[in-house]
């Protein structure tokens, strides 16, 4: 019996500024899979309600959409119970259970005007709707800390509305939070926000090995594998060695060979992505400080290479 270990939920939120371009949708879904996102909250999808494209693939098949979207990874065994949406496409609330634990997932997009009245009504609805742990993602278009997040150091939104937003949140669950991060701008002029938290789920402590079939199309990998097998059978296929043992053992030899190639390729790809991420972060900081167009254009070029 395989050993199990606790699995975390990775939550990811971003204002994507439109997903009607197929290539942009594909890039987004690839990023969610590569970062092992469990639940993604998307705002400003800009889909037409009667003719929206399908925002799904086999890794993130379950989607709710209008002007927003909440995507669940295929590996998350959630049971949907209830949903509340805004006809104007500004919020969606989902009431679900994961491993018999109650969760409420909410995605809110607030326009950059009359935020306080919209949030007052929306948060009141959310407070009545919620059940269990509330996870809220979205774009509120308001500073959480005006002293740091606004040039004037003050907020135009009345303070008691901010207190109401904090009252809705589940502060008793903060101990489940493991990590929070602000990523680089990639799909729009908004940076994604992500966090990892504890969950009632478990996953195998050791992953089951599967052959990376793309290696079979690599001429160098195939050539070295053939040479390795020839050498292996010349050494081990002897009269005193059972044929079944030789045959079963050669599979382990091949597995180790392809594992080494796959590990090397992964390390090279990880280094390339890490270098690109650092470059993008440096260019974004330069653009924020100088507001020059050159760093921003370089950011777009670097994003296209990911």
Q: 305 — alpha (psi -120 to 50), left (phi > 0) or beta? A: alpha
Cα–Cα distance measured from residue 218 to residue 240, given in angstroms and rounded to the nearest whole number: 36
Lowest mean pLDDT among 104-108, 251-255, 297-301: 297-301
Tokens (6 digits) for 70: 């909440």
What is the percentage of the chain residues whose pLDDT exceeds 90? 32
- Higher pLDDT pick, 44 / 161: 44
Task: Read off the pLDDT of each residue in 170-193 and give the average, rounded to a whole number.
Answer: 84
57 close to 48: Cβ distance less than 8 angstroms: no
Question: Is the separation of the CB atoms in 157 and 116 below 8 Å?
Answer: yes
Instruction: Please tell me the predicted confidence (pLDDT) of residue 76.
Output: 93
- Classify residue 188 by burial, with Cβ atoms within 10 Å: 0-12, 13-18, 19+: middle
Whether pLDDT at 54 is above 70:
no
CB-CB contact of 138 with 43 (8 Å): yes
pLDDT above 80 for 81: yes
Please give the Cα distance from 302 to 254 (Å, whole number).
37
Cα gap 161→180, rounded to integer Å: 24
Specify the pLDDT at position 224: 92
Is 50 exceeded by the pLDDT of residue 66?
no
Q: Is 4-204 CATH 3.40.640.10?
A: no
Residue 215 binned pLDDT confidence (cut-offs 50, 70, 90): confident
Q: What is the mean pLDDT of the chain?
A: 82
Query: Which range (3-17, 20-34, 47-61, 264-278) has the least confidence?
Result: 47-61
pLDDT, one tens digit per residue, over 142-178 is 776 666 666 665 655 555 555 555 555 667 788 888 9
Domain regions of the chain by residue span: 4-204, 213-304
pLDDT at 14: 93
Those residues whose C-beta lies under 8 Å from the C-beta of residue 148, and which sit 6 or more positions away, are none
The 3-state secondary structure of 181-232 reads EECCCCCCCCCCEEEEEEEEEEEECCCCCCCCHHHHHCHHHHHHHHHHHHHH
- First CA to last CA distance, the chain: 39
């Amino acid at each position: 019996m395989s050993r199990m270990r606790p699995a975390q939920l990775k939550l990811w939120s971003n204002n994507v500024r439109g997903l009607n371009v197929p290539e942009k949708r594909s890039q987004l879904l690839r990023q969610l899979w590569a970062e092992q996102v469990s639940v993604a909250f998307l705002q400003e999808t800009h889909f037409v309600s009667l003719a929206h494209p399908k925002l799904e693939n086999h890794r993130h098949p379950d989607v709710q959409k209008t002007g927003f979207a909440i995507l669940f990874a295929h590996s998350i065994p959630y049971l949907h119970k209830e949903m509340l949406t805004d006809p104007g496409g500004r919020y969606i609330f989902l009431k679900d259970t994961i491993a018999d634990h109650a969760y409420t997932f909410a995605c809110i997009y607030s326009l950059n005007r009359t935020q306080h009245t919209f949030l007052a009504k929306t948060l009141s609805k959310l407070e009545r709707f919620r059940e269990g742990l509330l996870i809220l993602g979205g774009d509120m278009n308001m500073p959480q800390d005006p002293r740091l997040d606004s040039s004037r150091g003050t907020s135009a939104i009345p303070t008691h509305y901010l207190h109401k937003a904090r009252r809705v949140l589940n502060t008793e669950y903060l101990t489940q939070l493991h990590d929070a991060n602000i990523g680089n701008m990639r799909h729009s002029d908004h940076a994604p926000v992500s966090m990892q938290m504890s969950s009632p789920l478990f996953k195998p402590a050791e992953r089951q090995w599967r052959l990376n079939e793309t290696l079979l199309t690599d001429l160098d990998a195939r050539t070295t594998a053939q040479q390795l097998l020839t050498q292996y059978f010349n050494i081990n296929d002897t009269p005193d060695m059972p044929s079944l043992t030789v045959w079963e053992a050669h599979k382990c030899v091949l597995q180790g060979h392809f594992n080494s190639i796959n590990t090397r390729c992964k390390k090279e790809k990880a280094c390339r992505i890490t270098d690109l991420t650092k470059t993008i972060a440096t260019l974004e900081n330069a653009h924020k400080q100088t507001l020059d167009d050159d760093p921003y254009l370089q950011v777009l070029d670097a994003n296209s290479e990911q």
